[in-house]
């Protein structure tokens, strides 16, 4: 392949010693000398080891990727990458990668087929299902990123399919919903300029986005007071001013009491409340019963600590914030997570920190162009009833268009939902209740998985379509808002390692043509990227040389001019819409489904990310699995006092007994976890025989122990609604 656009770096190498040892005809020193003399090509790309897709520079030596470094002009990486990024390179050369289309011929048995056969058979079966049962029997689920969303949704819409889903129902659906219906969206936290930051179940050192971590580091080094509320002392809590352990699932009580305390003491921002908000009176009236003592009883957070948090937030407003979080605490964990998120949003409203320095900022997005619609017809988003009940009045009217894949599996078992296309996503392993997800997925008449690895979901699919890896394809340009906004694209760094793999856009176009909807794809990826790039004074060819660039974007609108993206265009302490669909108009206390009290010998089971793994995606990467082994992280955390009482020692094997299942784990005895809580790092406990490296790691996955549930408001998956018993083996 010609890589003319890449800057060549010549390295004059030295041979390490003159001795040349010959090994079965292979001369290491000759090879080493050649390798050191070889040109190094540098190409811009995007990391793909997690959804952040940080800008990176890939270095290619002897035709092989040698290393990656952070791209300085990318909004997230800002010159830095995390450990996972280096691990992700192993995917490219993994001999166990899916190398050609596979068709299921028995339980866990597949036969390789040609692309023509795969695309023909899939198209015929899909056409039959749509003709027989209508497009509402079909759905799409994916990890929501540019190319997957653009090509996947366009394909589905062209077929009349409205049920397009993402993984967010297992991630941040509750957070997104609570913030959407109060402040109109999820802003970014201006952490480094803040005087006081309250982080509730947010671990920037485990759930990494490099740009955010950079801001947190600046805050830690600066004058910001950081308080972390987490049932365990997470990676940031170790560096923060204070760690506040809490009983899992009770954050709502603490947040309501802080808010009430702020109102009672007159520490809230009256101007904001009067000029930018609706429903303050109803809200204040509804939460006035929630005292710090009441919250202490429920949450184990001392009343005095709650008073201190209220005072710190009030005194430092508007340069203070309660972090909008992500997947922890109020992402998709408990029955009350939707309301916890709304309460956190309202607490930020109380201190009037929106679009204020050191507060929560709605950044404007970089401008991007679009294809000329007169030349390239756009399929309408179908108005058909969604199979997952999103937007349906007697199902999940307030759930977002991220969809409910776990609920779809219930419909699949009932025979009312028949076909699912999955890309870059492993829902069978990542949603609670493996049996529920697996049985649902197996019940489908047609399941198609676009993957690079043989995942739990792929193992159950009718067809697996192999994508080429992230270093072997191009993708759509995307724009990232933030303090240093950028636009970026994935460029192709090396030729395909496995000839029979294809990029997602290429596969979708192949299917579209067979299904008679080719007119919606009458452009190339280059055409599309040229159109997106139109607002900028740069050609696509030039852009492919740099991959990412910082762009000018209008500064965040000042609060005086700011219009909230809500029905009233104001901040909504009270939501008419909630009341309309039978939910409380203002936020109040709600218990998690498993309650707040623990019986003798019961534990709350929680989970969370480690900085060196991404969900299940990296589980089988050897050098990342080695970190797990070296540091023995795949253990269940138990509080020392609790362990002593139960006669359990560090490293002991225990049975973890949930209403669904009993599994065995090894214990890590620590003082860094709440006494009524056990914590298991996420991403382990794979069920696919193809993940050899991962299967060497003895661990559980909480999703095996948590029953299938759907939350009332946003429909999220309630990933931590479970109580377990622990017995020494
Ligand atoms: N290394 C790495 N980085 C990632 C990812 C990854 O897989 N690996 N994934 C990315 C994605 S998709 C996401 S969503 C983010 C997630 O980023 P985070 O949401 O920060 O990550 P989590 O570890 O899921 O949860 C954060 C914390 O919530 C705590 N927690 C659990 N239950 C409760 C509770 O009831 N109350 C409170 N207060 N805290 C609780 C956990 O102990 C954990 O420390 O990370 C992103 N970055
Ligand atoms: N127990 C437990 N469960 C959790 C969580 C937890 O902390 N603990 N976290 C939850 C959260 S926050 C989230 S966001 C979800 C995440 O759930 P998922 O979105 O399912 O995340 P991954 O496991 O990272 O799955 C991504 C898949 O994409 C594949 N892949 C990688 N690169 C490519 C590519 O280039 N093309 C294609 N086609 N495929 C590719 C990987 O092999 C992997 O199987 O999980 C949730 N579930
Ligand atoms: S946070 Fe790490 S793994 Fe995720 S895209 Fe950035 S460098 Fe890659
Ligand atoms: Mo997530």
Q: Read out DSSP for 162-204?
A: -EEEEGGGGTTHHHHHHHHHHHSS-PEE-GGG-SEEEEES--T
Burial of residue 371, with CB atoms counted within 10 A of its CB: 0-12 exposed, 13-18 middle, 19 or more buried: middle
Sheet hosting strand 225-229, strand order edge to edge:
242-244, 225-229, 196-200, 320-322
Closest CA to 713 of 532, 529, 590: 590
The closest residue, in CA terms, to atom 12 on ligand 2 is 171
Whole-number pLDDT of residue 316: 98
The best mutation among 201, 406, 409, 425 to test binding of ligand 2, ranked by most ligand atoms within 8 Å of the C-beta, falls on 425
Residue with tokens 């919250």: 295
Mean pLDDT, the chain, whole residue set: 95
| CB-based contact 369:478 (threshold 8 Å) | no
Q: Looking at residue 36, what is its pLDDT?
A: 78
Check if 494 has its Cβ closer than 6 Å to any atom of ligand 3: no
The tokens for 524 are 């190339």
Instruction: Please report how the helices 337-350 and 251-264 are oriented relative to each other, as an axis angle in degrees rounded to 10.
Output: 20
Give me ligand 1 centre to Cα 328, in Å: 4
Q: Are 570 and 177 in contact (CB under 8 A)?
A: no
Q: pLDDT tens, 398-438?
A: 999 899 999 999 999 999 999 999 999 999 999 999 999 99
Q: Is any ligand 1 atom within 6 A of the Cβ of residue 167?
A: no
Ligand 1 geometric centre to CA of 208 (Å): 9
Are the C-beta atoms of residues 419 and 387 closer than 8 Å to each other? no
Ligand number nearest CA of 49 is: 3
In the structure encoding, which two tokens stand for residue 136, read together?
A: 């509402």
pLDDT at 437: 98
pLDDT value, residue 556: 97
- Residue 27's pLDDT is 78
Rounded to whole angstroms, the Cα distance separating 182 from 571 reads 6
User: How far apart (Å, rounded) are the C-alpha atoms in residues 45 and 53?
Assistant: 9
pLDDT of residue 589: 98
Q: Which ligand is nearest to the CA of 206?
A: 1
| Alpha helices, H only, 288-361 | 292-299, 303-316, 337-350
Q: What is the pLDDT of residues 323-358, one digit of tens each?
A: 999 999 999 999 999 999 999 999 999 999 999 999
Q: What is the DSSP letter of 438?
A: H
Ligand 1: residue of 239, 603, 609, 674 to mutate (most ligand atoms within 8 A of CB) is 609
Closest-approaching ligand to the CA atom of 45: 3
The CB of 144 under 6 Å from ligand 1? The reply is no
Percent of the chain residues past pLDDT 90, beyond the cut: 93
- Candidate of 46, 78, 80, 85 to mutate for ligand 3, largest count of ligand atoms within 8 Å of Cβ: 85
Residues forming beta bridges with residue 321, ordered by sequence position: 197
* In the block, residue with structure tokens 């700011």: 562
Output the ligand 2 site: residues, CB below 6 A. Answer: 48, 143, 167, 170-171, 327, 423-427, 430, 450-453, 455, 467, 469-470, 607-609, 614-617, 682, 701-703, 719
- Whether the model clears a pTM of 0.85, i.e. scores above it, the answer is yes
Residue found by looking up tokens 């299967």 in the block: 695
- 465's CB contacts (< 8 A; 6+ apart) are 101, 118, 448, 449, 450, 451, 502, 507
Q: Is the CB of 352 under 6 A from ligand 1?
A: no
Q: What is the pLDDT of residue 508?
A: 98
Q: Is 197 in the pocket of ligand 3 (CB under 6 A)?
A: no
Which residue's CA is the closest to the ligand 2 atom numbered 26?
425
Name the DSSP class of 543: H
- Mean pLDDT along residues 544-557: 97
- Three-state secondary structure call for residue 564: coil
What does the buried/exposed string (b/e) look like for 33-60 if buried means 16 or more CB atoms within 10 Å of the residue's CB? beeeebebbbbbbbbbbbbbbbbbbbbb
pLDDT for res 23: 53
pLDDT > 90? residue 452? yes
Segment 240-255, tens digit of pLDDT: 999 999 999 999 999 9
Q: Which ligand is nearest to the CA of 235?
A: 1
The tens digit of pLDDT for each residue in 102-145 reads 999 999 999 999 999 999 999 999 999 999 999 999 999 999 98
Closest ligand 1 atom, residue 248 Cα: 35
Where b means 16+ CB within 10 Å and e means fewer, 534-560 reads: eebeeebeebbebbbbebebeebeebe
**Nearest ligand to the C-alpha of residue 255?**
1
Sign of the alpha-carbon torsion through 71, 72, 77, 83: positive
Say what the pLDDT of residue 32 is. 78
Question: 53 CB less than 6 Å from ligand 3?
Answer: yes
Q: Which of 693, 681, 697 is nearest to 629 (CA)?
A: 697
Question: Which residue's CA is minimally distant from atom 2 of ligand 3?
Answer: 82
Residue 2 has pLDDT above 80, yes or no: no
Supply the pLDDT for residue 62.
85
Q: Tell me how far CA of residue 43 lies from CA of 71, 485, 545, in angstroms.
A: 10, 21, 7
């Amino acid at each position: 392949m010609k890589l003319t656009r890449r800057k060549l770096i010549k390295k004059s190498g030295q041979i390490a010693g003159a001795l040349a040892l010959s090994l079965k005809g292979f001369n290491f020193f000759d090879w080493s000398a050649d390798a050191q003399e070889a040109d190094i090509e540098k190409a811009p790309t995007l990391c793909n080891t997690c959804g952040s897709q940080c800008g990176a520079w890939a270095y290619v030596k002897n035709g092989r990727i040698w290393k990656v470094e952070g791209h300085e002009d990318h909004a997230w990486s800002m010159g830095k990458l995390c450990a996972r990024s280096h691990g992700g390179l192993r995917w490219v050369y993994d001999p166990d990668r899916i190398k050609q289309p596979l068709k299921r011929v028995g339980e866990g048995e597949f036969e390789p087929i040609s692309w023509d056969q795969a695309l023909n058979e899939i198209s015929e079966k899909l056409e039959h299902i749509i003709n027989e049962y209508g497009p509402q029997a079909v759905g799409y689920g994916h990890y929501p990123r540019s190319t997957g969303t653009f090509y996947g949704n366009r394909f589905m819409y062209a077929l009349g399919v409205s049920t397009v889903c993402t993984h967010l129902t297992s991630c941040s659906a509750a957070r997104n919903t609570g913030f959407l219906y109060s402040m109109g969206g999820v802003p970014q936290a201006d952490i480094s300029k803040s005087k006081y930051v309250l982080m509730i179940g947010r671990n920037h050192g485990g759930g990494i986005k490099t740009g955010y971590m950079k801001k947190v580091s600046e805050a830690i080094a600066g004058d910001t007071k950081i308080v972390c509320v987490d049932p365990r002392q997470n990676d940031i809590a170790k560096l923060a001013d204070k760690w506040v352990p809490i009983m899992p699932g009770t954050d709502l009580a603490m947040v309501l009491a802080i808010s009430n305390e702020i109102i009672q003491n007159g520490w809230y921002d009256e101007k904001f409340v009067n000029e930018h908000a609706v429903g303050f009176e109803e809200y204040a009236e509804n939460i006035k019963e929630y005292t710090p003592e009441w919250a202490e009883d429920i949450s184990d957070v001392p009343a005095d600590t709650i008073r201190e948090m209220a005072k710190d937030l009030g005194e430092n407003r508007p340069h203070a914030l309660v972090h909008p979080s992500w997947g922890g605490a109020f992402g998709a964990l408990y029955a009350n997570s939707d309301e916890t998120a709304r309460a956190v949003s309202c607490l930020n409203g109380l201190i009037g920190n929106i679009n204020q320095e050191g507060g929560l900022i709605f950044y404007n997005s970089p401008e991007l162009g679009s294809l000329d619609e007169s030349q390239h017809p756009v399929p309408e988003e179908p108005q058909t009833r969604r199979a997952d009940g999103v937007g349906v009045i007697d199902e999940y009217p307030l759930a977002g268009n991220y969809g409910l894949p776990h609920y779809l599996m219930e419909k699949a078992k009932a025979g009312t939902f028949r076909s699912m296309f999955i890309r870059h996503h492993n829902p069978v392993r990542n949603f609670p209740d493996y049996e529920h997800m697996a049985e649902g997925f197996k019940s489908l008449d047609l399941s198609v998985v676009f993957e690079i690895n043989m995942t739990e979901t792929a193992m159950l699919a009718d067809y697996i379509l192999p994508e080429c890896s992230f270093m072997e394809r191009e993708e759509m340009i995307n724009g990232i808002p933030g303090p240093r906004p950028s636009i970026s694209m994935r460029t192709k760094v090396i030729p395909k390692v496995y000839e029979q793999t294809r990029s997602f856009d290429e596969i979708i176009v192949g299917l579209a043509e067979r299904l008679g909807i080719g007119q919606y794809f009458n452009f190339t990826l280059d055409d599309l990227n040229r159109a997106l790039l139109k607002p900028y004074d740069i050609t696509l060819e030039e852009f492919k040389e740099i991959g990412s660039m910082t762009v000018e974007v209008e500064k965040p609108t000042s609060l005086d001019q700011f219009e909230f993206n809500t029905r009233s265009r104001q901040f909504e302490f009270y939501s008419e819409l909630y009341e309309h669909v039978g939910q409380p108009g203002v936020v109040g206390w709600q218990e998690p489904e498993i309650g707040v009290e623990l019986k003798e010998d019961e534990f709350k089971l929680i989970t969370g990310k480690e900085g060196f793994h991404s969900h299940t995606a990296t589980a089988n990467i050897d050098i990342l699995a080695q970190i797990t082994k070296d540091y023995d992280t795949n253990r269940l955390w138990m509080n020392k006092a609790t362990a002593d009482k139960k006669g359990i020692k560090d490293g002991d094997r225990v049975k973890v007994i949930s209403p669904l299942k009993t599994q065995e784990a090894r214990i890590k005895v620590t003082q860094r976890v709440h006494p009524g809580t056990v914590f298991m790092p996420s991403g382990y406990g794979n069920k696919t025989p193809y993940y050899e490296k991962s299967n060497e790691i003895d661990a559980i996955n909480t999703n095996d122990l948590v029953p299938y549930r759907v939350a009332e408001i946003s429909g999220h998956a309630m990933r931590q609604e479970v109580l377990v018993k622990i017995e020494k083996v």
